[in-house]
Amino acid sequence: MCAKKNIYSVIAGSGSYIPTVVVKNEAFVNSVFMNEDGSRIETPGEDIVKKFEHITDIVERRVAEPQYVTSDMATFAAKEALKAANCDPETLDYIILAHNLGDMKQGTYYPDVLPTISSRVKFKLGIKNHKAVAYDITFGCPGWIQAMIQADYYIKSGDAKRVLVIGADTISRSSDPHDRDTMIFSDGAGAVVLEGRESDVPVGMLKHSIRTDVIDYIDLLTMGDSYNRDLKDGKMYLKMLGRKLYNYALTYVPEVAKECLTANNMELSDVNKVLIHQANAKMDEAILKRLFRLYGQKEADLSVMPMTIRTLGNSSVATVPTLFDLLVKGKMEGHSVKSGDNLMMTSVGAGMNINAFMYKMP
């Protein structure tokens, strides 16, 4: 008798939506930025922008067109992924959509999550199959990676054969125009079709590692009032304790990455690419350097980490799937992947949450 082959979760196709609206750093030169106590930052705008670029490496970002919301961008990315996978949408078992603030319309500052964003995407895709279960996941910036981990469980348990996993956000619409952090955030969407395949050897999604820290870190990313005390509009804006978040990520992301490699019986030398959440270029570089030091290597090979943040900004849950889509389609200059390559996908964000999984290219 032939030995039964194992089922692995493999990405059959990917897609992304990168908004057409480009906002360059120069657009913030005349902004009135304030400190947390409401006092005005008197530093000239040109100097603020120059320092920001030095710290983050962001020179421009993409923001959603005024007429589009998160579910629109998610649908665009999903259609591309479905086409790439040659997948009939009616054959999907699950649609899992990671986001943070739902269909926040231009200028409203109020999240819209009823009905769920995943249900709206299913509607916009015209899927009639009632067995295609659609639900949302909110897990901060690591939401798409967490959705992939859930989808992998469904497939390997036999509960699903094909899952559409989407990460989409219009995070720029929740930022405080008087907070310098507003320059970090952008919008976008990325999607993949994950399907079960039989294989004699491990392929696709392998083992993962996750952690959640709340006691000392729950307030690093929150919603709060504008730094402009004269704004009495009752709106809630995204707030970030940047220095504390940096220290948290630098401390624990490398640990989770190492745990993930250990779980897969791998060494750092086995990793061909690290697809990390595009939060801040300097922070991501520091994280990778710390990971290399955990393996006793003083010099980090930054070439294993493709970056999009310089021109796309931080689009939260959309960063990693967008990065993957651009990479596999040969749209990342200086980077390519081939069959057998090991990719680590990892992210950190509100919660605070960190996750990582290994993916072997089929």
Nearest to 189 by CA among 301, 68, 272, 88: 68
Cβ 316 vs Cβ 252: under 8 Å = no
204-360: what CATH class?
A: alpha beta
The CA distance from 295 to 355, in Å, is 19
- Spans of the chain below 50 pLDDT: 1
Q: How many CB atoms lie under 10 A from the CB of residue 127?
A: 18
The predicted structure's pLDDT at residue 258 = 97
- Residues 267 and 256: their CA atoms lie apart, in Å, by 14
CA atoms 238, 242, 247, 253: torsion sign: positive
Q: CA-to-CA distance for 1 and 4, rounded, in angstroms? A: 9
Query: Hey, what's the torsion of the CAs at 20, 117, 136, 253, to 10 degrees?
Result: 20
| 38-43 LR contacts (CB < 8 Å, sep 24+) | 38/227, 38/228, 38/229, 41/180
CA torsion, ordered 112, 115, 120, 122, to nearest 10 deg: 150
- Polymer length of the chain: 362
* Structure confidence at residue 107 (pLDDT): 81
Question: pTM above the 0.85 mark?
Answer: yes
**3-class secondary-structure state, position 317:** helix
Q: Is 201 within 8 Å of 92 (Cβ atoms)? A: no
Q: Which of 82, 71, 100 is nearest to 13 (CA)?
A: 82
Domain 6-199 sits in CATH at 3.40.47.10
Cis-peptide, bond into residue 352, ω within 30° of zero = yes
Residue pair 88/214 in contact (Cβ under 8 Å)? The answer is no
Interval 212-264: pLDDT, tens = 999 999 999 999 999 998 887 778 899 999 899 999 999 999 999 999 999 99
Q: Where are the domains of the chain?
A: 6-199, 204-360
**Residue 1 forms beta bridges with which residues?**
none
Rounded to 10 deg, the angle between the 70-84 and 117-125 helix axes is: 50
3 state SS of 197? strand
Dihedral sign, CA of 303, 250, 70, 233? Answer: negative
Backbone angles phi, psi at 24, to 5 degrees: -85, 160
Strand partners, 9: 196
- Residues 32 and 224: their CA atoms lie apart, in Å, by 18
d(CA 210, CA 148): 12
Give dist(CA 132, CA 86) in Å, integer: 17
Q: Do domains 6-199 and 204-360 have the same CATH topology?
A: yes
pLDDT tens digits along 86-106: 999 999 999 999 999 999 998
